Amino acid sequence: MLLEFILAMVIIRYLRTYLKKENITASWDRQLIIALAISIGLFVMGSVFKQLVYAGALLLDILLLYIMWTAYNTRVFLPLKPAIYAVLPYVVVSVVANIVPLLSRQWADDIHEYSEMAKLFAVIWMLAMWFITKKQRKAIETERLRAQEKEKQYALTEAIKSQLEIQVAERTAALTQQKEELQQALTELQSTQAQLIQSEKMASLGELTAGIAHEIQNPLNFVNNFSEVNTELMAEMKTAIDSGDMEEVKAIADDIIANEQKINYHGKRADAIVKGMLQHSRSSGGQKEPTDINALADEYLRLAYHGLRAKDKSFAATMKTDFDESIGKINVIPQDLGRVILNLITNAFYVVAEKKRPLTPDGRVNLASKDYVPTVTVSTKKTGNKVEIKVADNGNGIPAHILDKIFQPFFTTKPTGQGTGLGLSMSYDIVTKGHGGELKVSTKENEGSVFTILLPLQN
Amino acid sequence: MKILVVDDERDIQTLFEQRFRKEIRDHSLEFAFAFSGEDALTYLAQHAHEAVLILSDINMPGMSGLELLGHIKQTYFKPPPVVMMITAYGDAENFNMAKQLGADDFLTKPVDFTLLKEKLKNIH
């Protein structure tokens, strides 16, 4: 009786604790309180009236079965099923043990030992189940906590991840902007470079213009004057015809013919100069054509000289040429190669003029200046399957520390505003990329420099 | 009157001889030609005081017309010959430089011979 009662108390309390823990209220709890009251009543009844001990215990058993049945079939108590399994054997044993005394005392005494044994096993079962369940629950709880912890960690990771994503997006945006800015800067630089190259062309054209003016006025001088002379001679011829002096007429006619030839020659000379100027100012994209390298070098030597002379009245230099007449015509872009030659010659004239200056750049008297004869030599030579064009000066030479920079764009030793620093770099490009040749320099301090253009013959 | 013409263009000799053929024929004018500044100085050294008038181009390889002008005006001080400069550039800078060095007159190319003849008459 006492065991059944304690069991009922424990089960009811267990259920109520469970309800409380799971926060399930109202009707269930009330029913359990009623069950509690009934079991207390039954216990009191059984304790007071000794003959009702078995009936009371049986009723308690039935109540327990009812409670367990209800709990078993109710979703709310689903997690408590192991507890029900634990208790069930004892309740069943108890029911049997309590029914039998009600039916027959003799039978009850017969099976007393077995029932006590069964009760003991049921209790052991119950305790074992209780332990196992508790252990399982603990394991589940630990698992749950671990899962919770994992979830927390996951949430944290997610938070960090999303934060990182935002940062990545920000950085990407910043980088994209930087890239666009750089792209724009690059575009601007490219257009500036293009403009500078154009202005370098214009600068060299400016150098040429003065030379060309001089070169063109000379033939024009002859064209104009010889034609005027011829007009006068024709008038004289008429007089001679009238007077019948045929000897004089013939002499005058010969003069006129000679003059006409001169007019024609100088007219063609002017024409060639203008064509050369047009070719020079034309932007690149010119075609390779068979060109007389010697004539080209000679033409640009004269143009460079007169160009410098026009700018600097005191400028004077000895020009030497040494042309290999066996070269013949080779395939080049004349205006481009002309630009290179002009550039090299202009540079050569510049350095010899610097050396000739009566004062050194730092203001001291240049003692060497008096005996120095500024000389620029242009020579051509055919060597094997190559043609070399050399522009040599007897200037101060190129200092070793800048020698590897001279072909770099924008590098110049001239004072600000006097050179774009593009001349040699453009020349280098024209010779190497445009003609598949080489542009080399050799220099000796105080003795001068030699620039050599090497062009392959078959191109 | 003897005139020394200095120019690196060789055809200048034919031109002057034709332009002044009447004057040459009647010996009112006599011409000598030099094709560089150096040539001109050599000629002047050999024929001192012969040339009354020197016509010089400015742009010549080697010694320029202006250098030549400086030499002439310094060396042949008494009596200094008349020097006229001829140039293809009609710019003020050349003009001023030539004047400063003592040039007596200034002509531009193409040479206007009518104008030159006028100037020569005035020298007479």
Q: What is the 3-state secondary structure (H, E, C) of chain A?
A: CHHHHHHHHHHHHHHHHHHHHHCCCCHHHHHHHHHHHHHHHHHHHHHHCHHHHHHHHHHHHHHHHHHHHHHHCCHHHHHHHHHHHHHHHHHHHHHHHHHHHHHCHHHHHHHHHHHHHHHHHHHHHHHHHHHHHHHHHHHHHHHHHHHHHHHHHHHHHHHHHHHHHHHHHHHHHHHHHHHHHHHHHHHHHHHHHHHHHHHHHHHHHHHHHHHHHHHHHHHHHHHHHHHHHHHHHHHHHHHHHHHCCHHHHHHHHHHHHHHHHHHHHHHHHHHHHHHHHHHHHCCCCCCCEEEEHHHHHHHHHHHHHHHHHHHCCCCCCEEEEECCCCCCEEEECHHHHHHHHHHHHHHHHHHHHHHHCCECCCCCECHHHCCCCCEEEEEEEEECCEEEEEEEECCCCCCHHHHCCCCCCCCCCCCCCCCCCCHHHHHHHHHHHHHCCEEEEEEECCCEEEEEEEEECCC
Q: What is the band of A322 on the pLDDT scale with cuts at 50, 70, 90?
A: very high
Alpha carbon A171 to its chain centroid, in Å, reads 15
Closest partner CB to A226 (pick from B15, B59, B108): B15
Q: What is the mean pLDDT of residues B99-117?
A: 87
Confidence at residue A253, expressed as pLDDT on a 0 to 100 scale = 93
Which of A14-23, A65-74, A372-381 reaches the highest mean pLDDT? A372-381
B88 at interface of A, judged by CB pairs closer than 8 A: yes
Q: What is the band of A410 on the pLDDT scale with cuts at 50, 70, 90?
A: low
Confidence at residue A238, expressed as pLDDT on a 0 to 100 scale = 94
3-state class of B55 per DSSP?
A: strand
Of B120, B113, B89, B96, which is closest to residue B17 (Cα–Cα)?
Answer: B113
Q: How many CA atoms lie within 13 A of A297 on its CB side?
A: 27
Is residue B89 exposed (0-12), middle (13-18) or buried (19+ Cβ within 10 Å)? buried
Q: Which residues pair with A292 in a beta bridge?
A: A329
B13 at interface of A, judged by CB pairs closer than 8 A: no
Contact B61 A319 (CB under 8 A): yes
**Poorest-pLDDT segment among A239-253, A410-424, B26-40:** A410-424
Q: Which residues pair with B14 in a beta bridge?
A: none
Closest partner CB to A318 (pick from B62, B64, B108): B62
Instruction: Give the residue, A216 or A437, on which the prediction is more confident.
Output: A437
Contact list in B for residue A313 (CB cut-off 8 A) is: 58, 64, 66, 93-94, 97
Confidence at residue B109, expressed as pLDDT on a 0 to 100 scale = 82
Confidence at residue A274, expressed as pLDDT on a 0 to 100 scale = 77
Q: What is the band of A415 on the pLDDT scale with cuts at 50, 70, 90?
A: low
Phi, psi at B104, each rounded to 5°: -90, -30
**What is the torsional sign of CA B71, B74, B75, B79?**
positive
Q: What is the band of A91 on the pLDDT scale with cuts at 50, 70, 90?
A: confident
How many inter-chain contacts (A to B, CB under 8 Å) are there?
Answer: 67
B52 at interface of A, judged by CB pairs closer than 8 A: no
Query: A40 pLDDT exceeds 90?
Result: no
Q: What is the mean pLDDT of residues A260-274?
A: 87
Contact list in A for residue B111 (CB cut-off 8 A) is: 221, 225
Confidence at residue A108, expressed as pLDDT on a 0 to 100 scale = 76
B48 at interface of A, judged by CB pairs closer than 8 A: no
Confidence at residue B34, expressed as pLDDT on a 0 to 100 scale = 92
- Structure tokens, A380: 């051509």
- Residues of chain A in Cβ contact (below 8 Å) with chain B: 210, 213-214, 216-218, 220-226, 228-229, 233, 255, 258-259, 262, 266, 305-306, 309-310, 313-314, 316, 318-319
Q: What is the mean pLDDT of residues A217-232?
A: 90
Tell me which DSSP letter residue B91 carries: -
Confidence at residue B78, expressed as pLDDT on a 0 to 100 scale = 66
Query: A18 pLDDT exceeds 90?
Result: no
Confidence at residue A453, expressed as pLDDT on a 0 to 100 scale = 94
Euclidean distance between the first and the last CA atom of chain B, given in angstroms as a whole number:
8
Taking CA–CA distances from B93, the nearest residue in chain A reads A313
Q: What is the band of B92 on the pLDDT scale with cuts at 50, 70, 90?
A: confident
- Collect all residues with Cβ–Cβ distance below 8 Å to A263 and sequence separation of at least 6: A222, A223, A226, A227, A230
Tell me which DSSP letter residue B72 carries: H
**Poorest-pLDDT segment among A88-102, A171-185, A238-252, A444-458:** A88-102
3-state class of B28 per DSSP?
A: coil
Contact B109 A218 (CB under 8 A): yes
Strand A375-383, strand A438-444: pairing: unpaired
0.85 surpassed by complex ipTM: no
Query: B5 pLDDT exceeds 80?
Result: yes
How far apart CA A459 and CA A438 sit, in angstroms, is 14
Confidence at residue A357, expressed as pLDDT on a 0 to 100 scale = 77
Query: A264 pLDDT exceeds 90?
Result: yes
Q: Which residue has the tokens 């309390």?
A: A13
Contact B109 A262 (CB under 8 A): no
**E strand or H helix at B106:** strand B105-108
Contact list in B for residue A306 (CB cut-off 8 A) is: 59
Q: What is the band of A282 on the pLDDT scale with cuts at 50, 70, 90?
A: low
Confidence at residue A174, expressed as pLDDT on a 0 to 100 scale = 94
Considering chain A, what percentage of its residues have pLDDT values greater than 70?
A: 89
Average pLDDT of chain A is 84
Query: A284 pLDDT exceeds 60?
Result: no
3-state class of B111 per DSSP?
A: coil
Confidence at residue A455, expressed as pLDDT on a 0 to 100 scale = 93
Query: A279 pLDDT exceeds 70?
Result: no
- Collect all residues with Cβ–Cβ distance below 8 Å to A398 and sequence separation of at least 6: A406, A441, A443, A449
Contact list in A for residue B11 (CB cut-off 8 A) is: 222, 262, 266
Confidence at residue A254, expressed as pLDDT on a 0 to 100 scale = 93
**pTM of the complete model:** 0.46
Please, are residues A424 and A343 in contact by the beta-carbon 8 Å criterion? yes
**Poorest-pLDDT segment among A375-379, B29-33, B57-61, B63-67:** B57-61
Confidence at residue A442, expressed as pLDDT on a 0 to 100 scale = 93
Substitution target from B14, B15, B18, B96 for chain A, most A beta carbons within 10 A? B18
Considering chain B, what percentage of its residues have pLDDT values greater than 70?
A: 92
How far apart CA B65 and CA A315 sit, in angstroms, is 11
Confidence at residue A142, expressed as pLDDT on a 0 to 100 scale = 93
How far apart CA A302 and CA A297 sit, in angstroms, is 9
Taking CA–CA distances from B12, the nearest residue in chain A reads A222
Contact A224 B67 (CB under 8 A): no
Taking CA–CA distances from B14, the nearest residue in chain A reads A259
Q: What is the band of A95 on the pLDDT scale with cuts at 50, 70, 90?
A: confident
**B18–chain A nearest CA distance, Å:** 7
Contact B15 A225 (CB under 8 A): yes
Confidence at residue B47, expressed as pLDDT on a 0 to 100 scale = 81
Q: Which residue has the tokens 């008459």?
A: B121
Q: What is the band of A210 on the pLDDT scale with cuts at 50, 70, 90?
A: low
Taking CA–CA distances from B15, the nearest residue in chain A reads A226
B19 at interface of A, judged by CB pairs closer than 8 A: yes
Confidence at residue A107, expressed as pLDDT on a 0 to 100 scale = 81
Q: What is the mean pLDDT of residues A138-144?
A: 91
Confidence at residue A166, expressed as pLDDT on a 0 to 100 scale = 94
Query: A240 pLDDT exceeds 80?
Result: yes
**E strand or H helix at B27:** none
Closest partner CB to A218 (pick from B9, B19, B61): B9
Query: B46 pLDDT exceeds 90?
Result: no
Confidence at residue A6, expressed as pLDDT on a 0 to 100 scale = 83
How far apart CA A150 and CA A155 sit, in angstroms, is 8
